[in-house]
Structure 1
């Protein structure tokens, strides 16, 4: 504890989640040759929360996505399969969905139509996109443009979550976003990288029988990453972000300050969240001002100040199979509560 406190006094990034991202790889096989692919995640995540903002619960289960893939052209690929999700403690499957993706590759750009690369693959910060969505909402549907070349990264997408029909009660729900990491600039062995992200969520629709208000929530983010790399694939990273919230006539701001140490086997990080009148529709529940706790929707906290310790240990069983252990203690300064979350994940991507 003394060691951790000494570090906290000097430094305040969320950890690297690439090991369990869901990505649609572009085949390196011959044109018109069919290839079988298999993606799965077995998980258990336990949230021990005792505040008035977020519920405590356990998620345990697995999902599978077998699919067939074919390159129709050197730049065009089609993936088609089925997605199955099982939650332990429930009879039958929680979710069964067909999956279909058309992917076009142009140099370092990829354009996806249908099922897109969602959740963790957007590489959004946790206040805007909770890590837990890789478990609770694994599929996203819509359009996506992605670019990656060395450290430079861009992801722009539209996820159509719910549609509506005139005369019915369902609102249409649409989520669009952008995640940008600039090319790194190196000065005296230290890399500097600019980061910009934005999330836009809209719910509404015309000619529907629904008394819920039309809502448009906007969350822009600006950040700076400072990274020092060492021998044996080790690195020390500082991430600092300014985050906004706009939903007419409401608005809020927040600071998200992070650091982590990374080597091939483990990561240790610290994050400080200071939010004021902040809300993001898909962000980490603990970072919101409006309560998401069951039967406690009226509870509101103007400010949220949370310190998070992140400990990640990855075991690379093979190039296609990874086991990841994640332990995250939280300290809520305002309510003086110590909380924690633990997770174990087995990722297969064949």
Structure 2
């Protein structure tokens, strides 16, 4: 959501189109295998009342191929105030993959299945520090509603501890998500639910000064989960995990090898493969307290036009507890631009 001084008093038309296909060839008892295939389309009218303010409204359309009806039709609205080092958003947030979460905390597929986040967000960008803090109001309740109010939120932070001119960089990441389900005016018999997931560790990167080999990196996290509900509702009240990654960025692809060892780990927003409690409707109640995975990720981003990108992912997975190879493959087309319409005369 660009805010530029030269856009002051501009009316523009925004277009955000996202085509996706993702095929999960999973046969384990934790996460079901399935295919996602369709598109999101979000046209919007944008006005810049000042050189640091962006106001936009539109409609979000989501259609899965093979379904003659739209899966979702929702209005969108964002007010963004942006200064030199920070931005404040109200309405639809810059969420999902923009947060920069690791997958044990935040499911990559939310960019398809739960694309819109609504609430308030604060972004801070400085030379050595990047922060994203937000509240996502997921479900509103009114008197006597038969369901609970649902609120989510979190924070991602990375601070550069050490950086050299030769290309070395050491970063300290901190991430957490929190969910709360409850309320005082609903008629639901379900008790309050409060859940926390967090991660910290270190990221070490070395830039390579060649045309093909661009960088080497390792990203390593210790992950925890804790339920604070008065009446426990999840399969495990607390757990933890170790998430180790090493990779190389080349001109053609980003190749990363990941190791996950989780014990009693559950995360309502996290990737399904990393859970110790099943998310599968085929195997309800299945638990795997000690879960170990090895994941190879091959990721390619191709710039087709200035605002059009193609992303291809191939991710074979080895499950140590249930020895077998599984995989997912996907590609995405993303087009996002603003088109000038007119300028308000002063």
TM-score by length of 1: 0.90
Match of 1:41 among 18, 36, 39: 18
Aligned partners of 2:96 and 2:111 also within 8 Å: yes
Distance 2:251 2:127 in 1: 18
Quote how far apart the aligned CAs of 1:282 are. Answer: 1.0
Distance 2:127 2:17 in 1: 27
Specify whether residues 87 and 151 from structure 1 end up closer, same or farther in structure 2 by C-alpha distance, changes over 3 A only.
Answer: farther
Distance 1:74 1:189 in 2: 35
Secondary structure class of the residue paired with 2:285 = coil
Distance 1:183 1:262 in 2: 20
Secondary structure class of the residue paired with 1:211 = coil
Distance 1:275 1:181 in 2: 23
1:136 matched to 2:113? The reply is yes
Structure 1 residues 285-294 or 247-256, which shifts more? 247-256
Quote how far apart the aligned CAs of 1:346 are. Answer: 0.7
Q: How does 1:244-283 map to 2 (within 5 A)?
A: 244-248=224-228, 250-283=237-270
Counterpart in 2 of 1:127? 104
Specify whether residues 83 and 151 from structure 1 end up closer, same or farther in structure 2 by C-alpha distance, changes over 3 A only.
Answer: farther
Counterpart in 2 of 1:115? 92
Quote how far apart the aligned CAs of 1:98 are. Answer: 1.0
Counterpart in 1 of 2:286? 299
Quote how far apart the aligned CAs of 1:208 are. Answer: 2.1
Q: What RMSD in Å do the two structures reach over aligned CA positions?
A: 1.5
Quote how far apart the aligned CAs of 1:106 are. Answer: 1.9
Aligned partners of 1:245 and 1:253 also within 8 Å: yes
Aligned partners of 2:27 and 2:33 also within 8 Å: yes
1:95 matched to 2:72? The reply is yes
Distance 2:325 2:92 in 1: 39
- Consecutive unaligned residues in structure 2, runs of 5 or more: 338-346
Match of 1:236 among 216, 219, 223: 216
Aligned partners of 2:239 and 2:265 also within 8 Å: yes
Specify whether residues 105 and 244 from structure 1 end up closer, same or farther in structure 2 by C-alpha distance, changes over 3 A only.
Answer: same
Match of 2:173 among 188, 195, 203: 195
1:216 matched to 2:203? The reply is no
Secondary structure class of the residue paired with 1:286 = helix
Q: Give a deviation string over 1:253-305, Cα, whole Å, max 9, x none.
A: 10100012113431111111110011111111010011100143311111110
Counterpart in 2 of 1:174? 151
Aligned partners of 1:50 and 1:337 also within 8 Å: no
Aligned partners of 1:219 and 1:280 also within 8 Å: yes
Distance 2:324 2:142 in 1: 45
Aligned partners of 1:61 and 1:86 also within 8 Å: yes
Quote how far apart the aligned CAs of 1:148 are. Answer: 2.0
Distance 2:7 2:145 in 1: 48
Quote how far apart the aligned CAs of 1:196 are. Answer: 0.3
Structure 1 residues 145-154 or 196-205, which shifts more? 145-154
Q: Give a deviation string over 1:32-66, Cα, whole Å, max 9, x none.
A: 11112111111100001111111100000001111
Quote how far apart the aligned CAs of 1:348 are. Answer: 0.6
- Consecutive unaligned residues in structure 1, runs of 5 or more: 1-23
Counterpart in 2 of 1:69? 46
Counterpart in 2 of 1:287? 274
Quote how far apart the aligned CAs of 1:189 are. Answer: 4.2
- How many residue pairs end up in the alignment? 327
Secondary structure class of the residue paired with 2:97 = helix
TM-score by length of 2: 0.91
